[in-house]
Amino acid sequence: MSQSTPQPIASPVEADTPPRKSRSALFVQGAIWGFVVLELIFFSVAGRFLSVSDTAFLDLDNMLLLLKQSAPIGIIALGMTIIMINGNIDLSVGATFALSAIVLLDSMTWPFMAAMGDWAIPLAWLFALGTGVVLGAINGLIVWKTGVDAFIVTLGSMLGYRGLVFMYNGEQPTSHLNWTLVDFAEAQFLGLHTATWFLLGTVLVLWLVMTRTVHGRNAYAIGNNREAAVNAGIRVGPHFLINFMLIGFLAALSAVVFYSESGSVNPNDGMLYELWAITAVVLGGTKLSGGYGSIISTLGGVIAIQLLRKGLGYIGADTETVNLVIGLILIAVLFLDRQLNRKGSEELKI
Amino acid sequence: MTALTKAGIGGLLARQGILVAFVVFMIVFAIANPRFIDIDNVSGVIRSSAILGVMALGVTFVVIGGNLDLSVGSMMSFSTIVVLDLHDTLGPTLAIPAMFALTLCLGAFIGFLVGYLRLNSLIVTLGMLSAIHGLTLMWSGGQNMDIADKWGTWFGFFGRGSIAGVPVPILMFALAAVVLSLVLSKTPFGRKVYAVGGNGTAATFSGVPRARVVFMTYIISAACVATAGLMQASRSLGSQNTVGQGMELEVLAAVILGGASLLGGSGTIFKTVIGVLILGFIQNGLLLIGLEFYVQYVVTWVIIILAVWLDVAAKRSRLWSPIA
């Protein structure tokens, strides 16, 4: 449409991400880590008086386990961050997670795969990750080509992909235990579990993508002001497609990490994961409206939620209260964020 | 000439596409299996869609007002558990109003946050989805809830009874649909809901009390959820804590299928009812031709995307999106 656009484009990001780290932005970015520290202190102190367990809350093994348990939702939440920075949302990640898990476990029982021995493992991973990428690409293409809102597209495919999960194996669980795989998943390298390494690796890669590549900067620009991005010559569609493929890949990676160890998947697995992931992302300060957010803060959000789950259990609260507390904290964060970031040009209040 | 008929068909599809699709769908399945339009089958389908349907009616108000409600599923679990528990402690006559009061309190809380504090409805109701689920578990202690004397109570009337041969859930769904349809299309309040959802700022400048209107849409939604919870509890006379889990998105799918825009300002009760019936009949039709229940998910997916796609395509009068 506009071939005449001059080459050096002052993309809207330039003016928006690094320099505009105002006081409130810094506060919001750091706030989630402050909250994490607060949780650690609270549960350590409260645990002294309330805990039934002998070990301290800040026990190293406990913390390492916490990181490991954060990995499945965490990897998905990291992908969700990018989708949301781009101004979209993906509700189908839970179903993608389940379908990739089924492909992972089932593919290892195929005759030619079984004949390959342990060499089947990388191939099974490839199949599972490929499934995720394809499912993500379907979402991305529909969003791009039809112009239907991502919320509706992925709401539909959440149902559709779940249907595929059921069609694969009926209502039966799909199981396959490969002990080499289990050993790998349970291994610890430099003290950290395999799942934790995957989580941290994802953080690193995505952080580099979002802060050091053209794709990342364009994703911010599109989420911030799509029209301006289009006028600046950014092709919106391909970026949507890439990001949806990325989150599909990450949902599959999350399944690979989780099911390598557990070896059995139910057709209902992964339900509501999308909502947990979104919760973590929002806690990390990413805006639903797009254009703003950070990978590192999402990691903070993921850890904060996991700490809360573990901590409440540690001080003897019922598991029921966890849901209540997380829900209320989410709303409180939204409220605080609004109060702190209120600008002069706020909509009028009635 | 072709252009004219094309425009005519396009216009009809754009305006009443979902109704046309529904009729075509019914005819095809009726030919494939005559039992499909058997009166018992039809009444069975509507009866089992009624609970989802009543919830969808309330969510229609919220969506037309420009917001979302993801909390209806766990709120329905809450009201089901509460009314079952109170049935044995307070007796059914007191349990029902008490449950309605508690559920309306939850609705009022959400309405306050979204309407008066102007917080993002997606996140607020997402948080409430989790929080209300927690409340439900705390109320029940994680146990299933059952009515002790299942045969000695009239409580089953709302889910199992029938008046003049018509099952009560169908009557309640129909009554709720008629009343809410009148409220939405014939009252000043209904017009204000459209105004707030269509353009909130313009509505404010025209003197529409935006906050109060949004607040009221959540109250209506909560009342519908309480009714649905009553029907669910009465039908099964016992329940798990997770009875409504996942329904929030199915309800939303029905509302969107009916053609309400998530941006707000459009949609009708009638169309939502059609959306609910389509979901119900798809499920039933696929079962009748011998497919498993989960095939409906895939079919629903395709239908939702097609329905919304045709809708936006008609509005911009080109099929493919202009996104580069």
Checking if the pLDDT of A134 tops 90, the result is yes
User: At B98, is the pLDDT very low, low, confident or very high (cuts 50, 70, 90)?
Assistant: very high
The position carrying tokens 């006028």 is A231
Task: Give me the pLDDT at residue B36, please.
Answer: 84
ipTM exceeding cut-off 0.90 for this assembly: no
Chain A residue with the nearest C-alpha to that of B140: A320
Output the domain CATH number for residue A229: 1.10.3470
For the record, the structure tokens of A216 come out as 């990342």
Residue A57 is which amino acid? F
Residue pair B64/B260 in contact by the 8 Å Cβ criterion: yes
The larger pLDDT score, comparing residue B300 to residue B230, is at B230
Nearest-angstrom CA–CA distance, B74 and A64: 33
Task: Please give the C-alpha separations between residue A132 and each of A72, A108, A151, A156, B323, in angstroms, as whole numbers.
Answer: 14, 17, 18, 16, 24
Mean predicted lDDT score pLDDT of chain A: 84
The larger pLDDT score, comparing residue A243 to residue A311, is at A243
Task: Give me the pLDDT at residue B260, please.
Answer: 84
Task: Give me the pLDDT at residue A8, please.
Answer: 41
State pLDDT tens for residues A181-221.
Answer: 888 888 888 888 889 999 999 999 999 999 999 999 999 99
Domain contains A220: yes
Chain B residue with the nearest C-alpha to that of A139: B305
Nearest-angstrom CA–CA distance, B313 and A55: 61
Cβ of A323 under 8 Å from any chain B Cβ?
Answer: yes
Checking if the pLDDT of A9 tops 70, the result is no
Task: Give me the pLDDT at residue A27, please.
Answer: 57
Q: Taking the mean position of all CA atoms in its chain, how far away is CA A98? A: 15
The larger pLDDT score, comparing residue A276 to residue B59, is at B59
What is the SS3 assignment for B60?
helix
Nearest-angstrom CA–CA distance, B91 and B88: 6
Domain contains A349: no
Domain contains A181: yes
CB within 8 Å: B321 and A318: no
**What is the average per-residue pLDDT within B96-100?**
95
Output the DSSP codes for A287-332. Answer: -TTSS---HHHHHHHHHHHHHHHHHHHHTT--HHHHHHHHHHHHHH
Task: Please give the C-alpha separations between residue B324 and each of A6, A60, A144, A240, B153, in angstroms, as whole numbers.
Answer: 18, 51, 8, 11, 63
Nearest-angstrom CA–CA distance, B63 and B197: 8
Nearest chain B CA: its distance from A28 CA (Å) = 17
Q: Taking the mean position of all CA atoms in its chain, how far away is CA A241? A: 17
Checking if the pLDDT of B250 tops 50, the result is yes
Smallest Cβ distance to B305: which of A156, A166, A347?
A156
Smallest Cβ distance to B262: which of A149, A158, A335?
A149
State pLDDT tens for residues B21-64.
Answer: 788 888 888 888 888 888 888 998 999 899 999 999 999 999 99
CB within 8 Å: B209 and A350: yes
User: At A55, is the pLDDT very low, low, confident or very high (cuts 50, 70, 90)?
Assistant: confident
Residue pair B138/B82 in contact by the 8 Å Cβ criterion: no
Domain contains A223: yes
Checking if the pLDDT of A16 tops 60, the result is no
Checking if the pLDDT of B222 tops 60, the result is yes
Nearest-angstrom CA–CA distance, B313 and B305: 12
Q: What are phi and psi of A3, to 5 degrees?
A: -80, -15
Checking if the pLDDT of A72 tops 80, the result is yes
Smallest Cβ distance to B120: which of A237, A322, A334?
A334
Task: Give me the pLDDT at residue B7, please.
Answer: 57
Task: Give me the pLDDT at residue A301, please.
Answer: 92
A161-170, A321-330, A336-345, B87-96: the lowest-pLDDT one = A336-345
* B66 DSSP assignment: T
The domain containing residue A183 runs over which residues?
Answer: 60-339
CB within 8 Å: B124 and A334: yes
Nearest-angstrom CA–CA distance, A337 and A347: 16
Cβ under 8 Å to B: A residues 31-90? none
Task: Please give the C-alpha separations between residue B173 and each of A233, B38, B57, B168, in angstroms, as whole numbers.
Answer: 52, 20, 9, 9
Domain contains A171: yes
User: At A341, is the pLDDT very low, low, confident or very high (cuts 50, 70, 90)?
Assistant: low
Judged on CB neighbours under 10 Å (0-12, 13-18, 19+), B174 is: middle
Instruction: Please state which CATH class domain B23-309 belongs to.
Output: mainly alpha
Using alpha carbons, select from B262, B319, B310 the residue that is nearest to residue B18. B310
Domain contains A21: no
Domain contains A25: no
CB within 8 Å: A159 and B253: yes
Nearest-angstrom CA–CA distance, A4 and B219: 54
Which chain B residues touch A331 with a CB distance below 8 Å?
113, 119, 123-124, 127-128, 131
Number of H helices, E strands in chain A: 14, 4
Task: Give me the pLDDT at residue B14, please.
Answer: 59
Residue pair B197/B265 in contact by the 8 Å Cβ criterion: yes
Domain contains A39: no
Task: Give me the pLDDT at residue B257, please.
Answer: 86
Residue pair A57/A51 in contact by the 8 Å Cβ criterion: yes
Task: Give me the pLDDT at residue B282, please.
Answer: 86
Total of domains in chain A:
1
**Percentages (nearest 5) of helix, strand, coil residues in chain B:** 75, 0, 20
Task: Give me the pLDDT at residue A137, please.
Answer: 97
Smallest Cβ distance to A323: which of B134, B246, B304?
B134
Which chain A residues touch B192 with a CB distance below 8 Å?
none
